[in-house]
Structure 1
Amino acid sequence: MIKVTKVEKLFPSIEEVFESPKEWFKYVFFPLLTVEIENEQQQKSKAHFVSMYACGLAEYESERTDCNWFFVRFEKVGDKYRFDGEMAWLPNFSELPQWYQNAVEDYVAHKDLYLNSGVKHSYDPSPYKDSLEKWEAISGDYATYMDTLLSYWVTRDKYQETGKFIAGNHYTQGYSGHEREIYELTPYDEDEETYEDLDEYLEYRLDTESYLCEEYDISLDDKDYLGYVIGYNYLQYSADTISLFISSDEKEVYNWFSFS
């Protein structure tokens, strides 16, 4: 069985995660966490939790079997991933280069304001909320993309500055400032029920996802489960998870998006 032996790095770069990344990768894939894994032969390598634009949004369903609204499958080559699929099925894909550039320019212009606005409560005004209103006036999809990307950058940069892993919208919009778990193997819920037995949790988890696996002819039963992180892009407090499954030959990795 392949297992995680060490949490290595939050927010690795695109170049650290992907072998020969294409230009559009940075528009679509958001690297969250790198972990060290070890197989039964005690050979070690790296695996990566990666979020994806539009993940978790069932209205963006496609017929693709290498990536979809609820998963993305990567080929694992050594310590890095390879992805040879295309993303034209994604909403607004042709507009993403310009949207990404807009996000870069906005962040350069307002970074200090976003990171240090000092907003205390979610109902208080803030420079970031002013930007959100402008983005929403353009379109809902545009606002979602900008908010996702900039919150990802704020969370990353404040973590690197403070060493505290707190969702970016705490700094920009006054939401909860609790420190998050960087990585977890099995969940803990508000009813104080835990899955102390990993096999019990996996049985529950695979049964929950079985209808999607059957529909798209995907098998997770023969994959090793590596754990999960909470929150798409660590944008807000939620029970949304990104789980990692790896094939026994370590050639395929599934980033699996689940939500409540």
Structure 2
Amino acid sequence: MGLAKRIIPCLDVKDGATVKGVNFVNLRNAGDPVELARQYSNQGADELVFLDITASADGRKTFTDMVGKVAQVINIPFTVGGGINAFEDVERLLFAGADKVSINSAAIRTPNLIDKISASFGSQVCVCAIDARMEADGQWYCYVKGGRERTDLKLLDWATEVADRGAGEILFTSMNHDGVKQGFANDALAMLADKVKIPVIASGGAGCMDHFYDAFAKGKADAALAASVFHFGEIKIPKLKEYLKQKGVKVRI
């Protein structure tokens, strides 16, 4: 049967509030991050991902304080990302209460940061987030700066490199699918799963419970992450897990 598949709510935090958009834009408020985190931990989420989408220095201090508050109210693994530019940022967030850090732009800009995190804290602490978009030429290209800037890196090439450098898992967000609620990018997920030997987390596109099943069955994902369907009560985590179990997916109930 293998390892249990994980269900992971994601909190995108801007100026102290949880927000959610579509295709990385048009953000709307989704509530208090600490209270949402508490609810998800109590509802049986397997992990929590917490992303700071405000990169200013002031926002970083506010965010670090909030990481500490969240860590106090949950009892599940806690991944924190956003605004990480250097090894010192990683240390700061782990000290504040994070179990893992998620790096994206910084990893592309300074790839040896992956090696350093893995060597210092263990590969399980380093989650490499990859935001990618399928372009008109049929290729998936990686983006940085919260999806605002395209790079020349192709998805599979970069995923292979981060795995080789010691990342513990890949958090893959399809920008084409983000917030649209039409399902995850299962073809790309399956390609990733076949290409790398580390766990792949599916992100971008959850709209109904079937989409989670497809991410596991078709996309071969190890975990599935979502935001708005959880924040706005469209899908309840206990019901989702019961549904997946009935469909033959191994989950922790």
TM-score normalized by the length of structure 1: 0.31
TM-score normalized by the length of structure 2: 0.32
